A and B are shown apart, each in its own frame.
Chain A
Amino acid sequence: MFDLDRWREIFQSINKNRLRSVMSGFTVAFAILLFTLLFGISNGLGNFFKTAFADDAQNSMFVRVWRTTKPYKGLQSGRSVQLKNEDYNFVADEYANKIEYQSARIYKNFVIKYKNEASTYSVMAVNPDHQFLEKTIIDEGRYLNERDIREKSKVIVIGRLIKKDLFGEKPAINKRVIVNGSSFLIIGIFSDDGGDNEERKAYIPVTTSQMMYGNNDYISQINLGYNPNLSTDAAIAFGNKMERDMRKRLNIHPDDQSALSVRNMAEANKFVSTVSFALFIIIIFIGSGTLIAGIIGISNIMIFVIKERTKEFGIRKALGAKPSSIVGMVVQESVLITTIAGYAGLTLGTYILSLIGNSLEEKYFIKDPSVSSGLVIGATIVLIISGLIAGYLPAKRAANIKPIEALRAD
């Protein structure tokens, strides 16, 4: 393959026939450019869908309650529904094998004060599993643990931005802050990919909250992470069953949507994967169509080129060129042009995609459009193969024409 003289012949032929080389190169470059842009943009759409739900775990479920809007079993409408520890335990016992993580949530807003700095923050009382459900990232120290729950410890995990507000650059771990008038020990500092709001929160043990603020067993919400081994459909069925069971326990009308809801990420996941799949099919269809059009384009040009060069091949054969050397020359030239042009298209495409970046996220739901290196390599291989085919078939035919006929051609 690496024959310096052969390359010299090819470069000479490309150089002396610039127009046709550029033309065939342009076809390929354009096809690959479109292909790259399409793929990148579809990836961008996919990325948007994925990150739109990135704040919470992909398998999370939320059980939430409000006021009833329908009378049921002799109970009036407008009744405020309250979740309690017993409901939490019921879920834990009843669906143990379907649940990976489970946490209660109680929402509070408290002033947190350190020395002269103070501000109001959202403080959530939770169980240790909440870390995984919320995808909380511990930067320093630790999260809540079962012992904190058992002992109703007055400990707090604060968000990165709370730490910044109250402590600035100074260390905050093992310092005490005043939360709603009581002293809490900072055991950990976290960050969260969900954005600034998520990092202006603080977590305390659910039992501590129940003891200190009302001394009851009320909880605001039950958060679950369903067993990731469940299929999406099984997870949806699980969510529906739990919703029916909870309505029965809490005496809520089966159709009273405002009183209780189970938000199930499995449903969103199903939607996302369906949309992504449809998108993928469309892209494959259009993308491969574009590629094929490019390949056909270059094949056409190659046929024309070879017809134009038939006489030259005849001369070369009269001078002693073997058919294989002519086929090899044409194929190598075609592969060279397709590879270079394709690579140019690819580079231009990735460059344009990088320029687009996240600028289309707000309006067009395209986030970080890009193509993977695997795809780049794959497309390059497709290009080389198509260059091979595009060059080989017509060259083979031309090389087998008897030299006398080739010489007669004009």
Chain B
Amino acid sequence: MIRIEKLHKSYPIGKDSLHVLKGIDLHIKEGEFVSIMGSSGSGKSTLLNIVGLLDIHDEGDYYLNGQLIKDMNEKKAALLRNKFLGFIFQSFNLISYKTAVENVALPLYYKGIGRKERLEIALDYLEKVGLKEWANHLPNELSGGQKQRVAIARALVTKPKVVLADEPTGALDSTTTDNVMDLLKDINDEGMTVFVITHEEEVAEQTKRIVRLKDGVIISDEFTNAGKLPKATKAV
């Protein structure tokens, strides 16, 4: 599903440049539940942004669903994101003036699906995350956990191949963290590839595979207990 070879990325800082990713090799198969661990500055967010086509890498190759990501313009990237990727952010990133159901339906709008149909689909997904009664509330009327569940419904509504979650529990307390992680596990059980970025051990342990990043290189890549179950996929 995701194949990354010798990936490099640096950011210019004044005259110098900051080398953030220093040759990452990573292969994630369809249906995996992977977490990227690392302290801040380890390059994990940069990695997720590149995987999510929100940012462009400098060197190396990146294949998404077998397609080489190269010479991306914003338009092509937007189409691929809409087709293959669902995003969950630490700060939820809901549009404040849209209701929960409208937020969930937004990716379908960019897919070109009619209003009535997309609101129906969006409502189904809200039901799935247990927020059907909150469909017509604005984000500022929801709790943090509820907002994140709306965001998850929004990430899932286009039936993406990969769900990318950037510190999805970073702004949540421990109970809601568990709720969110349970949801992500359910998604993964349905066969979706889930890619989580976190610095919390408890969160990482609930995934099936943990990749640890330090100073732009992978220092370890191992399966968790959950990942060692017979059904799980082996790493390459």
Give the chain A neighbours of B95 by CB distance below 8 A.
312, 315-316
Instruction: List residues of chain A with CB within 8 A of the CB of B97.
Output: 12-13, 16-17
A317 touches which one: B78, B89, B109 (CB < 8 A)?
A: B78
B residues touching A (Cβ–Cβ < 8 Å)?
Answer: 49, 52, 54-56, 74-75, 78-79, 81-83, 87, 89, 93-95, 97-98, 106-107, 109-111, 114-115, 154, 158
Complex Cα spacing A312 to B94, Å:
8
Interface centre among B54, B78, B106 (most CB of A within 10 A): B78
Q: List 5 A–B pairs whose Cβ atoms lie within 8 Å, in order of A's numbering.
A: A317-B78, A319-B82, A324-B75, A404-B54, A404-B55
On chain A, the residues within 8 Å of B110 by CB distance are: 316, 319-322, 325
Can you name the residue of chain A whose Cβ is closest to the Cβ of B84? A320
Known: A318-B93, A320-B82, A321-B78. 14 other contacts (CB 8 A): A9-B109, A13-B97, A17-B97, A316-B106, A317-B74, A317-B81, A319-B82, A320-B83, A322-B75, A322-B110, A323-B74, A323-B78, A402-B56, A407-B93
Chain A 309-345 near chain B by CB (<8 Å), digits 1 or 0: 0011011111111111100000000000000000000
Chain B CB within 8 A of A177 CB: no
A322 touches B79 (CB 8 A): yes
Q: How far is the CB of A302 from chain B (nearest CB, A)?
A: 18
Q: Which of A5, A8, A17, A404 is packed against the most chain B CB atoms within 10 Å?
A: A404
Q: Could you say which residues of chain B place their CB within 8 Å of the CB of A369? A: none
Q: Are B54 and A407 in contact (CB under 8 A)?
A: yes
**Chain A residues positioned under 8 Å from B98 (CB to CB):** 12
Asked if A399 is an interface residue, CB under 8 A from chain B, the answer is yes
Tell me, rounded to whole Å, the shortest Cβ–Cβ distance linking B71 to chain A: 15
For the complex, give the distance between the alpha carbons of A88 and B49 in Å. Answer: 98
At the interface, yes or no: A119 with Cβ under 8 Å from chain B? Answer: no
Chain A, 1-37, CB within 8 A of any chain B CB: 4-5, 8-9, 12-13, 16-17
Shortest distance from the beta carbon of A393 to any chain B beta carbon, whole Å: 17
Task: Write the A294-312 contact mask toward B (1 if CB under 8 angstroms, else 0).
Answer: 0000000000000000011
Interface residue from B74, B75, B93, B109 paired with A315 (Cβ < 8 Å): B93
**Inter-subunit contact A320/B89 (CB<8 Å):** no
Asked if B106 and A404 sit within 8 Å, CB to CB, the answer is: no
Docked CA distance A8–B82 (Å) = 21
Within 8 A of B (CB), among A21-72: none
Contacts of B158 in A (CB 8 A): 320
Q: A5-B115, A404-B55 are in contact. Are A322 and B74 (CB under 8 A)?
A: yes
